[in-house]
Chain A
Amino acid sequence: MDTLPARPATDPGYNFGYLDEQTKRMIRRALLKAVAIPGYQVPFGSREMPLPYGWGTGGIQITASIIGPADTLKVIDQGADDTTNAVSIRRFFARVAGVATTERTAVATIIQTRHRIPERPLSAGQILVYQVPQPEPLRQLEPREAEARKMHALADYGLMHVKLYEDIARFGRIATSYNYPVMVNGRYLMAPSPIPAFDNPKMHRMAALQLFGAGREKRIYAVPPHTEVQSLDFDDHPFKVWRADRCCDLCGAPDSYLDEVVTDDKGGRMFVCSDTDHCAERRGAGHRGPLAGHALQEIAEGKS
């Protein structure tokens, strides 16, 4: 883990942040409009990026447009800092913008994320950039784009509750566990990107600015700091977060979002924090989970 921000030299073959200045201005204009109308999807001229759609082309364009030389960038993928996608995007910006990168949530000024919000509460001045595959929360229910936009314009969102009704009728509870629809500022229905419903309450009145970029769908939307974000629900089936009923096997955290990891072919499994930085920080502070220490050491050494 790199703790001290290193500042690599910028590749002189690229404009600062990869995108040309006109493109960055265009995206910033879309961002300003998005911040002015919380939750509203602003169309923008999404560019081809040197990575495939679905790998974060929307998020990377937003990051490229807002990043400055003094920023410190953190990239997370499913909560982890060390997966391929996170590592390569971090390396990309180190090369084309020469910015410092970090894995620590606390020191990052810009955090580009896929599928998670960090466990540590974000503070004012930080910016969270989400990679969004499908910005339209009504897409599965209303395939006509024109009609879906009209529904947004008229705040005509009864249809979304039909989906939740179906969940309860079939499973006895609202079984939507990720990309759980939210109302932003009491006006726009918004897809929070495929973050677990566990993370939804963190969006409510978050101190940091939240920006959402969908590259393939060419949409940008935003939630300004301290904005109301409410998860949809029924009066008699209120919104509930779901997490594995365990503590982290490495750091012992009883309240973080957990990944289930299969450890062998005999039914062995362990639960670990999906947020690797949070987990490492807790272990650094001396917290220990049931499988931390010798048990892990034994698995590593092939004794068990």
Chain B
Amino acid sequence: MLTLISRRMMLVIPNLIGVVIITFLLTRALPGDPAAYFAGPAADKQAIEQIRVKLGLDKPLIVQFGRYVADLGHLNLGNSLTTGQPVLTEIKNRLPASAELTLFGLILSMSIAVPLGILAAVKQGSWIDHTCRVVATAGVSLPVFFTGLLLVYVFYFLLGWSPAPLGRLDVFFSPPPQITGFYLVDSLLNRDLSTFRAALSQLLLPGLTLCIFSLAPITRMTRASMLAVLASDFVRTASASGLDSRTVILTYAFRNAMLPVVTTLGMVFSFLLGANVLVEKVFAWPGIGSYAVEALIASDFAPVQGFVLAMAILYVLLNLIIDVLYGIIDPRVRLET
């Protein structure tokens, strides 16, 4: 198992190097001049040049890159121009917010999509199948920001069921003491039910937005994998030997069908973290996605680089974990590697 992990890590390193290089070049190609931005609206050429030297932006690109990599080695991701804070602390502070939202959306989505997928597979070709398909596909066909705005309009503005879209907690709550960084978990660990409720009510709409967007891939996956399993010999054998269809579907087919679904969840998770960018903007969510968007628009290099790197590492780790888990669950895979 250890060799498997270390081998996988070796494979991953070139990818990360690629990510670092591409991000560096891409951010340098952004329009806008950080020196001019820093120097303020009234700066003359000389003042801008002074700032440029101060920021080290007068050096050739390759020197800047060297410095960037050296800083990375010291876990220094630089400072954001727009918020003025070190990028690493910001990412550390904001990642739990994004992760909590994404996980919540994913769980919500799973709880709807998996039953839908199973239903569609079992009733393959029927109107139920078509309805499931249409519903799920409709969800993925809406731009997330539009879904989000629509939900805010209906549930906050018109109906007043949902609290103000003001981030993770109502203004008059203070966040629970940080343990995991997930407000839901932390407030429960502190037995603070009112904070838990407040955090949950803030999470619902953005979570629902993400859920709607991710219904389709999960439903589709579940359906396909259920179909494959339902057609397989052992399920046929099970039903042939007179087991009632409920047992066959839930005990035999479902379990086996879930395997490929779980593996692709990693992909969906990272895909959702990406989709988060827009959702966070709509809901004033203090996550890393909104942070990256603002930074990119402001040609603020450091946060963009930091964000992309953090996401890449997360993606790689996630896939590694899934691979390992898969190996544990399914011995055949281990043999093959």
**A and B, one complex?**
no
